[in-house]
Amino acid sequence: MSFSIRKSLHPGLNLGEDHGDDRLEAETSVFGFWVFMMSDLVTFGMFFAVFATTMPLACCPGPKELFDLGSVAWQTAFLLASSLTSGMAILTLKQEHASRSASTKKLVFWLLVTVLLGCGFLYREISDFIAMAAAGGPPTRSGYLSALWSLVGLHGLHVTGGLIWCLVIVAGIVVRGVDHRWKLTLLRWAVFWHFLDVVWIAIFSFVFLGGLL
Amino acid sequence: MLDAIFGRLTWDSIILVQAVEQPNINTFITAGAAAMMPVGGVMIVALLTWMKWWKPLFEWLTSVDHKKIGTMYIIFAVIMLFRGVVEGMLMRANQAVGLNGGFLSSDHFNQLFTTHGTNMIFFVAMPFLFGLINIIVPLQIGARDVAFPRLNQISLGLTAAGGFLFMISLMIGEFSTGGWTGYPSFTGRLVNPGVGPDYYILAIAISGIGSTLTGVNFSVTIYKLRTAGMSFMRMPLFTWTALCTSILLIFAMPPLTACCAMLGLDRFLGFHFFTNDMGGNLMNFINLFWMFGHPEVYILILPAFGVMSEISSTFSGKRLYGYTSIVAATMCIAVLSFTVWLHHFFTMGQSATVNAAFGVATMLIAIPTGVKIYDWLATLWGGRIRFTAPMIYLCGFFVLFTIGGLSGVVLASPTLDYQLHNSQFLVAHFHNVIIPGVLFGILAGIHIWFPKIYGFRLMEGLSRITAFLWAIGFILAFMPLYQTGLMGMTRRTVAYEDPALVPWMIVSGIGALILGCAFLSILLTIFVSVLNRKKLMVPIGDPWDGRSLEWATPAPTPEWNFAVLPKVDCRDAFTDAKAKGTAYQPIEKYEDIEMPANTYYGFIIMIMASGLGFGLVWHMWWLAIASLLGAIATAITYAFLPQKQYIIPAAEVREIDEAWRRSAREGRGITRDDEGNEANQGLARPDNITNP
Amino acid sequence: MIDPSTHLAIAESFLQPMGPVAADQLRHLIIVTLLTLIAVVPVMVSMPWILWRYRRSKPKGEYRPSWESNSFLEWLMWGVPIVVVALIGVNLTIMTFRLDPYKELGKDPLQVQVIGLDWKWIFIYPDEGVALVDELVVPEGRAVELTLTTDTVMQSLQISAIVGQIYAMPAMTTKLNFRAVKQGVAEGMNSQFTGNGFWKQKFQVYSVSKEDYAARMKKAQSSDLSLTDDTYAILAMQGTSEEAKKPLAIENRKGPIEMVLGDPKIFQRVLARYMVEDMTPESQPGSPSYDPKKSPLPPASDKPMMGMEM
C-alpha cells in the first residue's frame, strides 16, 4: 500500500504527513465518527419529517405569534461564526501541532472563542424558548409546537453537548498537552461542530423562514 | 419524602407481593418466572465462589476482545431465548385450550405477546447475530480486533442494560401490552399511564443506541481493517452480509430511537406527537417505527444468509456459485429494504397509488432473495455434500424459508393484505421467515464456529437431533396458523369463538412443545459436548476444511488472532493456500503485538444506563439524573485516563505460533470421512473424492 | 359458526366470499400463489434431487469444485424471478386500484358512519336516523360506504367474508366500500389490538332483502333508547355491548342495542372533540380513569372539520 501525499484517509480536513502515526490512526477514528454522524443525521431527519407533517392549529399560537426573526438571525450569526473559529482551531492544530512541543495558546484561544460564541447562541435560543412559552406556545400545547420544540431543542442539546465536550478538550490540552488522543478527539469534535452548523441552516430555513412565508 | 425516593414504586409493584395478595394462575406463573432471577442469581454467585471463578468473570466483563464480547452476546441471547421460548409455549398452550377463554387472563396474555416479540427481536436475534459477527468477521478479514474495541464493550453494556430493564419488569411492575410495535395512542399517556410502556420504550431505545454503535463499529472494521490484498470482492460472504447489516443498522436504528424519544416526551412531559388531540398524529409513530422495522428484519436475515453461503460452499467442498450475483443481490436487498416500509400498514387508509407503489417495491425485494436461494442450490451442484448439522439447517432453510417467502409475496399485495393483515397468516409468515431463516442460520453458525472459539466441536449426533426438532417443531407450531389466518382468525387474541379453529390450535400447541424440547436440546448438546470435549478437540483449528481466513488460526484462537497479519490474493484464500501448500509455513519474523487493555468503561455504562432507565420508569428522578450525570462523568474521566495497551512479546507469540504451525505441518490430517470422529484434530487433508 | 339468533351459518373468511370484493381477493390470492410457485417449485424439486445426486457417500455427479458461474443459469436465475415479479406486480397494481376501499361500488351507496369504541362498534345510519351497536344491516346487492373513526385508540374494522379491513383512528376518518351479493350473516371484528376486551369486539353483518332491511330500520326507529350525549358517554365506557346494557338500564333486553339517532351530528362532534382542547384521563374514552360525566362532546359547528380525512 503506497501513500501519496494527496491521499485523503477520511473526509474533511486530514492531518498532514508530518503528524506521523497520528495521521494514520485518524483514518479509522475520524472516519468512524463521520459514519456515526450519518446516523445522527438520520435522527434529525426523522424529527424534521415529523415536523413537516404538522401544521399550526387555528386555536393555538403559531409561527407569526412566536418567532422572533431578529433573534434567529443573531443565533445564526453566532453559530456560523463559531464554526469559522472552530475551523481556525483545527487549522492551528494541523499547522502547528505536528510536534508535541508547540505552544497551545493559539489553539486554546480559538477553542474558547468558539465556546463563547456557542454560549451566545444558546443564550438567545433559551431566551426565545422562554418567551415562546410565556406567549402561550409551550410544547404541550399542540402537535406543531411539540415538533418545533423538540427539533430545535434536539439541536440545542447537541450544541450544549458540543460545548461541554470542547471545554473538556481544552482542559485536557491544558493538562496533558496536545497528545495523540486529544488530537484525534479535536478532529472528531470539529466534524460534530460543523455538522451542527449544517443542521442549523436547515432548521432556520425550513422551520423559521419556512414557517413565516 | 418516600414519594421522592421511590417515585411511583410501591410494595404492590413487586410480583411476589401480588402473588400473595391475589393468588391466581396468572400471578403464580409470573411470580414463578420472576423468582427464577434471584434464585438463579444466588446459584450463580454460589457457583462462582465455589469454583473460584470471580477473577476470570471480571476478566471477561472488562475484556475488549471481540471474541469474548461476542461470546457474552451469545450467552445473553441464549438466556433470553429461554424466556422467549417459554413465553411462546405459554401462549400456544393457552390458544390450544382457548375456545371462549383459555387459562391465562387477558392482561397476562397481552403482556406475553408483547414481551415475546420484543424479547426475540431485540434481546435474542440481534445479540445472537452481533455475537457471531463480532467473533468471526475480524478473523475473516484478517484483523486483530474490531475498529473500536471499547465501543464494542459499551454496545454490549447498553444491550445488557436494555435486557436488564426488560427482565426486571417481570419482577417489579409490568411490561407493556401494546405488542412489540407499541402503537400509540394505545401506548400513550392517557390510555396506558402505567409503567409497562415506559419499560418498553426505555428497553428498546437504550439497546437501540447500542446497536447503532455496533453498526458503526462493524462497518468501519470491514471498511478499514481488511488485511493486505483483501479487496471487497475477495471478502467471504459472511463478511459481506455483515457489512450490509452494519449499514442497515446505522440508518435504521435512528428512526427507532427517534420515535421512542417522541413517545417518551408524550408520556413524560405531555407533548403531542402521537396523541389523539391537539394536532397529534399517531400515523407518524407508525411510519417512523416501520422505517426502522423493515430494515430491521433484513438486519436479522442478512447475516443468516451469510451463514447459508458459508454452509453451502464449505459442506459441499466447492466454491460458492455466483459470488458476484450474491454480492449484488445482498446490496440490492440492503438498499431496497428502505423503500418498502409502508407494506406494514397498507390498511391505514392511504391512496391506492401509494399502496400500489409500495406493493411493487416489496415485490422487487423478492427478486434478489430468490436469486440467492438459487445460487446456494447451484453451489451444491457439482459438490460432495456432507449431511452435517449445518447442512440439515440449510436444507430445512431451502424448503421452509421458501414457503415463508411465498407467503410474503402474498402479503405484499395490498389487496390481499386488506384481508390478511394482523391475522394469524401474518404471524405464520414472519415466524416462517425468522425460524427457518434467522434461527437456523444462527444455530448453524454456532455449530460451525464453536470449535474455533472453544477448541472442540459440538457433538454431531445431538446437533442433528436439535436441527430436526427445530424443523418439526416449527412446522407443527406455525403451518396451521396459515390456515387459521385464512379462516379469519386475528392475531394477539387471548381467546376465540370459532370451534373450527380448535384442531389447528391443538396441533400448533404440540408444535410449541416440540420447540421447547428443541431449545432444551441445544442446552443438552452444549452440556454433553463440554463433558466430552477431550474427544472432540480440534486444536489445529480447521475442522471442516474451511475456505476463509478464520480457519487459518489455532483453536481456541489466541488473543491476537493472527501472529502475523496474512496477505491474500484471491477469494477463498485459505483453500487456495492449502492447495498450493503454503498454509502453515513457518514465519520468519515475529513482532511484539500491542493489544488494548481491559477496562471497566462498558460495565459502568451498563450500570448507568440501567439506572437511568429504571429511574425514568418509576419516576425516581434522582436516580435518573444521577445515572445520566454518572454516565457523562464516566465518559469525561475515561477521556483523561491514559488508554492502556499491553504488549505481548514477540518471543511469546513466536513460541505459540510456531508450535501450532509445526503440529499442522507434521500432522497427518483427515479426509472428510473422519470429520465427525475423534481423529479430527482440526487438520484437513485433500478429501477422498469418488467420481461415478 | 352458527348465529343463534338467526340460525344462519356465519361466514367468517374470504374463503367463502359474500361479496364481489372478497371474491376478487380470493381469485387474486390464487393467481399470486400460482405465479409465485413458478419461482418456488424449482427449489422444492431440485433440492432433493441435488442432495441425492451429489451426496458425498454415493455421488452420481462429477465433482467440480471450482465451478462457480454459468451465463445461461445467471440469465435464468435473475430472469425468472424478474418475470414472475413483473407479472405479479402488474396484477397487484390493477387489483389495488380496482379494490380500493375508497372506491364506491355502485351509485348512491348506503352511508353508514362507524364509531369504534372499547370494545364495541356503533353503526350510525344518518339517513334512517338510527344507530345500532355491534350490528350492521345492509340490503342485499346495495353498495355500502362506511365512514369510520374511533374515539379511543387505533382500531381496524374487518369483515373478512365481504371486504377485508380498514384502520380507523381518532380525529380522522377512513372509508370502506363494499357490497354483499348474497343474503346471510358475516362476522365482523376489530383486528387491531386494543386491550383486554379486544377479543370480544365482534359484530355481525346481516345482508338481507330490501323489505327486511326496511323492517329492521323501522323497528329501530321506534326504539325507546336514543343516542344522545349521555347515552354515548355511557357506551364509551370500556366493555362489550352486552356489558353496556346494564348502565343503559336495558339489562334484560336481548339482541344488539338499537337506538334512535338523537343527535344527527354526533359523528362530527366525536371527530371534532380532539381539536378543541386537551383530553384528560377523565375525558378520554379508553383511559382507565374515564368518567362518562366528565367527557363532554363539543357543540356541533357549521365550520368544516379540522380533522384529517384520508
Q: CA of B647 to nearest chain A CA: how many angstroms apart?
A: 18
Domain shared by B397 and B447, yes or no: yes
Domain shared by B443 and B480, yes or no: yes
- Single out the residue in B490, B509, B537 at which a domain terminates: B537
For residue B161, being part of any structural domain is answered with no
**pLDDT above 60 (res B92):** yes
**Chains touching chain C at 3 or more Cβ pairs under 8 angstroms?**
A, B
Q: Does C310 touch chain A (CB under 8 A)?
A: no
- Single out the residue in B494, B510, B537 at which a domain terminates: B537
**pLDDT above 80 (res C4):** no
pLDDT confidence of residue C308 = 46
Confidence of residue B643 (pLDDT cuts 50, 70, 90): confident
Q: List the beta bridge partners of residue C111.
A: C145
Q: Does C171 touch chain B (CB under 8 A)?
A: yes
**pLDDT above 70 (res A6):** no
pLDDT confidence of residue B582 = 92
What are the backbone dihedrals phi and psi of residue C30, each rounded to the nearest 5 degrees, phi first? -65, -45
pLDDT tens for B260-299 read: 999 999 999 999 999 999 999 999 999 999 999 999 999 9
CA C176 vs CA A66, C144, C146: distances in Å: 41, 8, 5
User: Helix B149-171 to helix B25-50 angle, to the nearest 10 degrees?
Assistant: 140
Contacts of B259 in chain A (CB under 8 A): 46
Interchain contact, A32 vs B279, CB within 8 Å: no
Contacts of B190 in chain A (CB under 8 A): none
What are the backbone dihedrals phi and psi of residue B647, each rounded to the nearest 5 degrees, phi first? -105, 130
Burial class (CB in 10 A: 0-12, 13-18, 19+), B8: middle
Average pLDDT over residues C252-269: 93
Distance, CA of B574 to CA of B583 (rounded, Å): 7
Q: Can you say whether residue B467 is alpha, beta or left, with left for phi > 0 and alpha for psi between -120 and 50 degrees?
A: alpha
pLDDT confidence of residue A112 = 97
Answer whether B525's CB lies under 8 Å from B443's CB.
no
Domain shared by B445 and B488, yes or no: yes
Domain shared by B550 and B526, yes or no: no
Q: Does B588 touch chain C (CB under 8 A)?
A: no
CA B458 to chain centroid: 20
User: B273, B287, B290: which to substitute to probe chain A, counting the most A Cβ within 10 Å?
Assistant: B273
For residue B51, being part of any structural domain is answered with no
Distance, CA of B453 to CA of B60 (rounded, Å): 14
Domain shared by B489 and B570, yes or no: no
Percent of chain B past pLDDT 90, that is, above it, reads 96
Query: Between residues 469 and 528 of chain B, which touch chain C (CB distance below 8 Å)?
Result: 486-488, 490-500
Domain shared by B443 and B483, yes or no: yes
Q: Does B345 touch chain C (CB under 8 A)?
A: yes
Burial class (CB in 10 A: 0-12, 13-18, 19+), B581: exposed
Domain shared by B412 and B460, yes or no: yes
Average pLDDT over residues B218-226: 96
**pLDDT above 60 (res C304):** no
For residue B83, being part of any structural domain is answered with no
What is the pLDDT of chain A when averaged over all its residues? Answer: 92
pLDDT tens for B545-570 read: 999 999 999 999 999 999 999 999 99
**pLDDT above 50 (res A3):** no
- Single out the residue in B537, B558, B574 at which a domain terminates: B537
Domain shared by B671 and B686, yes or no: yes
pLDDT confidence of residue A42 = 97
- Return the H-helix or E-strand segment holding C8: strand C8-11
Query: Between residues 38 and 77 of chain A, which touch chain C (CB distance below 8 Å)?
Result: 57-59
Domain shared by B552 and B570, yes or no: yes
**Chains touching chain A at 3 or more Cβ pairs under 8 angstroms?**
B, C
**Chains touching chain B at 3 or more Cβ pairs under 8 angstroms?**
A, C
pLDDT confidence of residue A8 = 78
Domain shared by B421 and B406, yes or no: yes
Contacts of C276 in chain A (CB under 8 A): 59
Domain shared by B507 and B545, yes or no: no
Burial class (CB in 10 A: 0-12, 13-18, 19+), B631: middle
pLDDT tens for B474-532 read: 999 999 999 999 999 999 999 999 999 999 999 999 999 999 999 999 999 999 999 99
**pLDDT above 50 (res C219):** yes
Q: CA of C108 to nearest chain A CA: how many angstroms apart?
A: 34
What is the pLDDT of chain B when averaged over all its residues? Answer: 96
For residue B447, being part of any structural domain is answered with yes
Q: Does A213 touch chain C (CB under 8 A)?
A: no
The residues, ordered by sequence, that sit 6+ positions from C96 with a Cβ below 8 Å of its Cβ are B352, B355, B356, B359, B413, B414, B415
**pLDDT above 90 (res C204):** yes
Q: CA of C287 to nearest chain A CA: how many angstroms apart?
A: 19
The residues, ordered by sequence, that sit 6+ positions from B357 with a Cβ below 8 Å of its Cβ are none
Percent of chain C past pLDDT 90, that is, above it, reads 88
What is the total count of domains within chain B?
2
Q: CA of C56 to nearest chain B CA: how many angstroms apart?
A: 4
pLDDT confidence of residue A2 = 42
pLDDT confidence of residue B239 = 97
By C-alpha distance, which of C145, C152, C179, C180 is closest to C168? C152
Answer whether B553's CB lies under 8 Å from B139's CB.
yes
Average pLDDT over residues B85-101: 95
Interchain contact, B364 vs C85, CB within 8 Å: yes
What are the backbone dihedrals phi and psi of residue C177, each rounded to the nearest 5 degrees, phi first? -105, 135
Lowest mean pLDDT: which of B649-653, C4-8, C20-24? C4-8
CA B207 vs CA B162, B492, B551, C181: distances in Å: 5, 25, 32, 52
Answer whether C89's CB lies under 8 Å from C163's CB.
no
Contacts of A59 in chain C (CB under 8 A): 275-276
Q: CA of A136 to nearest chain C CA: how many angstroms apart?
A: 14
Grid cell locating C110: 348506503
Residue range(s) defining the domain that contains residue B456? 393-537
For residue B35, being part of any structural domain is answered with no
Helices and strands in chain A, H and E counts:
7, 0
Q: Does A2 touch chain B (CB under 8 A)?
A: no
Burial class (CB in 10 A: 0-12, 13-18, 19+), C66: exposed
pLDDT confidence of residue A7 = 67
By C-alpha distance, which of B239, B368, B388, B244 is closest to B309? B239
Other C-beta atoms lying within 10 Å of the C-beta of residue C251? 9
Lowest mean pLDDT: which of A99-113, A156-170, B178-192? A99-113
Give the residue carrying C-alpha cell 365482523. C188
Interchain contact, C92 vs B413, CB within 8 Å: yes
Q: Does C8 touch chain A (CB under 8 A)?
A: no
**pLDDT above 80 (res C170):** yes
For residue B68, being part of any structural domain is answered with no
pLDDT tens for A58-68 read: 888 888 889 99
Q: Which domains, and CATH codes, for chain A? A: 19-54+66-212 (1.20.120.80)
CA A85 vs CA A12, A15, A107, A170: distances in Å: 16, 18, 10, 14
DSSP state of C164: E
pLDDT confidence of residue C310 = 46
pLDDT confidence of residue A55 = 86
Alpha-carbon Rg for chain A, nearest whole angstrom, is 20
**pLDDT above 90 (res B171):** yes
pLDDT tens for B445-462 read: 999 999 999 999 999 999
Average pLDDT over residues A77-99: 93
For residue B508, being part of any structural domain is answered with yes
**pLDDT above 60 (res B359):** yes
The CATH architecture that domain C110-307 belongs to is Sandwich (2.60)
What are the backbone dihedrals phi and psi of residue C237, each rounded to the nearest 5 degrees, phi first? -70, 150
Distance, CA of B357 to CA of B304 (rounded, Å): 29
Confidence of residue B324 (pLDDT cuts 50, 70, 90): very high
pLDDT confidence of residue C3 = 66
For residue B526, being part of any structural domain is answered with yes
| CATH 2.60.40.420 residue spans of chain C | 110-307
pTM of the model: 0.96
- Return the H-helix or E-strand segment holding A156: helix A143-176
Q: Does A174 touch chain B (CB under 8 A)?
A: no
Q: CA of A39 to nearest chain B CA: how many angstroms apart?
A: 5
pLDDT confidence of residue B323 = 96
Residue of A nearest to B259 (CA): A46
